[in-house]
Amino acid sequence: MEASSKLNTVDLNALRIDVLRRAAASYLKFAYPSGDWPETVKRRLDWTESEPPQELLTKPPFEKAGKVPGTQTPIFALRLGNARYPHMKLQIQPWPNDAGLMLSVNTHDQIAGLDLALADAQGFKELQTHNQALKEAIEQAWENEGLPTFLKYLRDYIEHRAEESPPANGDSPQAES
């Protein structure tokens, strides 16, 4: 998909912090349905209004979560957790769109080679199932709110490509006689 070449030139200051704030608010409704957020989460959401995105995202509470494959563009994360698991993250990927970003949830619970006792393994598997359902619910809510997610990008990309494609049988439309 052609966005990767554009990602090498993404300006972090083009990221819309208002979109990020909306995404965080929506995330928290699902992650903490009681509305009671841990103090650490409250502190992580205490951002300076006037701070440019380049400065905001490159220091705590934001973390670098990797790079967009094939680019030097960093992916950022904000560890907001959920009521059962404190390590789930809201991920922010710079992206060439109107918001300047793409959102996702990283459950941060995929631990390779983890050797748990049988009793612990079942509990951890249940936690992973819970986290995955929460991830899907949050990302669906973002979709419903029109926030930039990978699925929205993919849907738009496919629709755009379909509009550009010639007819499937290779015949060009001809005027009737």
Quick: pLDDT tens for 110-136.
875 566 666 677 888 899 999 999 999
Angle between helices 17-31 and 118-144 (to 10 degrees): 130
Q: How many structural domains is the chain composed of?
A: 1
Q: What whole-number distance in Å separates Cα of residue 109 and Cα of residue 88?
A: 8
Q: Does residue 42 lie in a domain region? A: yes
Dist CA 159 CA 153 (whole Å): 10
pLDDT for res 107: 95
In a domain, 169, yes or no: no
pLDDT at 164: 82
Residue 11 located in a structural domain: yes
Q: In the prediction, which pLDDT does 177 show?
A: 43
36 located within any domain: yes
Residues with pLDDT less than 70, the chain: 1-9, 112-119, 166-177
Decide if 171 is inside a domain: no
The boundaries of the domain holding residue 115 are: 3-157
Structure confidence at residue 117 (pLDDT): 64
- pLDDT for residue 175: 47
Q: Would you tell me how many other CB atoms lie within 10 Å of the CB of residue 49?
A: 6
What pLDDT, on the 0 to 100 scale, is given for residue 1? Answer: 45
The pLDDT of residue 116? 65
- Please give the pLDDT value at position 127: 92
Whether residue 167 is contained in a domain is answered as no
**What single-letter amino acid sits at 168?**
A
Q: Which residues contact 85 (CB under 8 A, 6 or more apart)?
A: 109, 127, 130, 131
